[in-house]
Amino acid sequence: MVSIPQVEMALVTGGAGFIGSHLVDRLLADQTEVVVLDSLASGRLENLVAWNKNSNLQFIKADLRNLDKFPKVVVDCETIFHLAANPDVQSSSCDPRTHYANNLVATLNLLEAIRKAGNVKSLVFTSTSTVYGDAVEIPTPEDYSPLLPVSIYGACKLASEALIVSYAYNYGFNALIFRLANVTGSRSQHGIVHDFIDKLHKNSEKLEILGDGTQTKSYLHVADCVEAILTGIKRLSERVEIYNVGSEDQANVKQIANVVCDEMGLKNVEYCFTGGVDGGRGWKGDVKIMLLSVEKLKKLGWKPRLNSCEVIRKTVKELLYEGN
């Protein structure tokens, strides 16, 4: 487990959410003072309940989309982890304006607060593998181009990256951008594993599967994701650094369904594939094949501890335990 660099006080936007709350766990466990800013639109206070009596945690309910004036305690933080976002890739094609506001407008408002405060040293941003779109180079490295996202979500994340880079160079803070593969684990409230479990609880005999079942992607456990973030910030030396974060293999949709059914003790479940769109994708904007190169981050000493199928199996166990 990587040691956390000396940070007196950190702001975590979206800190009551899935990945954010796991990051908060690590920061607080290492005695860092943490300010969590979350609108609770998708985040949950129960994700932070273990730290209710910890004096190092301060929670502020606020919405970055509409926040004109940041509380003083926020601008006093020299390190900011920006995880607040609408993470539902699938819904972005149906509601582009909401994703634009939750991802891009929120990021711009935060950057303006950083500019006005003038004391922020480091901004860490969780981006996404979807900025690459349908990459023809697999595994896909950080310097792959052109970046042609096929989802509104990916486009908003890529635009956020561009804003962060330009603000970092213009206003003198360091920026660390992580392009995440599919991150899953305890507390996750969306994604394929969560959706399959929910569907099978409702009907244990049939499972609807979006697409043609051949969608193949990389899956990373949230604990490995947090370790990657902390590894990157510990070794931050350039004005801007970009890292891919993912496992080194893939799992397809049918493999995931098999693991979920196995862990739920279900046999002879009928898989009902919808056939999908645009060549078997689950939905408009779905990237059908994804595998990131993580060689750059591995050179810093990080590597995923679980492969994709192990991640899926561990996640099913965690989510089933939480549901009891």
Active site residues: 153
Grouping H, G, I as helix, E, B as strand and the rest as coil, residue 33 is strand
Is the distance from CB of 14 to CB of 160 less than 8 angstroms? no
Query: If you write DSSP's letter for every residue of 164-225 in order, what string do you get?
Result: HHHHHHHHT-EEEEEEE-EEE-TT--SSHHHHHHHHHHH-SSEEEESSSS--EE-EEEHHHH
d(CA 212, CA 320): 26
d(CA 138, CA 136): 6
Grouping H, G, I as helix, E, B as strand and the rest as coil, residue 279 is coil
Neighbours of 152 (CB within 10 A): 24
In the structure encoding, which two tokens stand for residue 87, read together?
A: 């993470």
